[in-house]
């Protein structure tokens, strides 16, 4: 397909990464604020800037494969993105991406500077996994799976 924007959605910060399906490489590119009213617009502007053809939202599922509250929150966010853009939106298991980010930054930065970069590096980690595993063919759209009963 081309380029994908990886999105690590959190309560305060959203890490962003860009990856290419041909090169199979992902790189952190920045952050967006999850606390602003225009969060989706921030992400879509980044998607335009990097000329991406798809959006990949990290899906924080539990170690046993079940979906907890954070997973539902991320999937709802992905569903909202899908409604506001014509780009394909997919979700991807982000387990261990924060661990990978922590290891990459270990000993390099102060805690404050580390926090500012950690989410973008985590987004690059699960986007890299998506690219390496042909995720374009296997990833779910956010509404493909049944929603939990409320």
Phi, psi (deg, nearest 5) at residue 11: -70, -35
User: What average pLDDT does the chain have?
Assistant: 85
Kindly report, residue by residue over 105-132, the tens digit of the pLDDT.
555 555 555 555 677 888 998 999 899 8
Alpha-carbon distance of 134 to 150, in angstroms, equals: 33
Evaluate if residue 90 carries a pLDDT over 70: yes
Look up the domain containing 44 and give its range. Answer: 3-138
Average pLDDT in the 85-94 region?
Answer: 93
Mean pLDDT of 80-102: 80
Any idea what the CATH number is for the domain that residue 19 is in? 3.30.420.140
| Number of domains the chain contains | 1
Tens digit of each residue's pLDDT (9 = 90 or more) over 59-80: 998 888 888 899 999 999 999 9
Task: Tell me how far apart the alpha carbons of residues 148 and 117 are, in angstroms, rounded to a whole number.
Answer: 32
Q: Which of 47, 126, 55 is nearest to 88 (CA)?
A: 55
Residue count (the chain): 150
pTM comes to 0.86
146 within a domain of the structure (yes/no): no
**Structure tokens that stand for 9 in this block:** 């959605």
């Amino acid at each position: 397909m081309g380029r994908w924007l990886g999105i690590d959605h959190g309560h305060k910060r959203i890490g962003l990464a860009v990856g290419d399906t041909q090169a199979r490489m992902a790189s952190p590119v920045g952050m967006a604020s999850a606390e602003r009213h225009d969060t989706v617009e921030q992400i879509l502007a980044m998607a335009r800037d990097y000329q991406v053809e798809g959006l990949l939202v990290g899906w924080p599922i539990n170690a046993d494969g079940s979906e907890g509250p954070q997973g539902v929150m991320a999937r709802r966010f992905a569903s909202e993105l899908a409604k506001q853009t014509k780009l394909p939106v997919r979700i991807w298991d982000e387990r261990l991406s924060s661990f990978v980010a922590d290891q990459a930054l270990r000993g390099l930065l102060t805690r404050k500077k580390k926090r500012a970069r950690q989410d973008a590096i985590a987004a690059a980690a699960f986007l890299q996994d998506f690219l390496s595993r042909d995720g374009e063919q296997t990833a779910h759209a956010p509404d493909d799976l049944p929603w939990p009963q409320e």
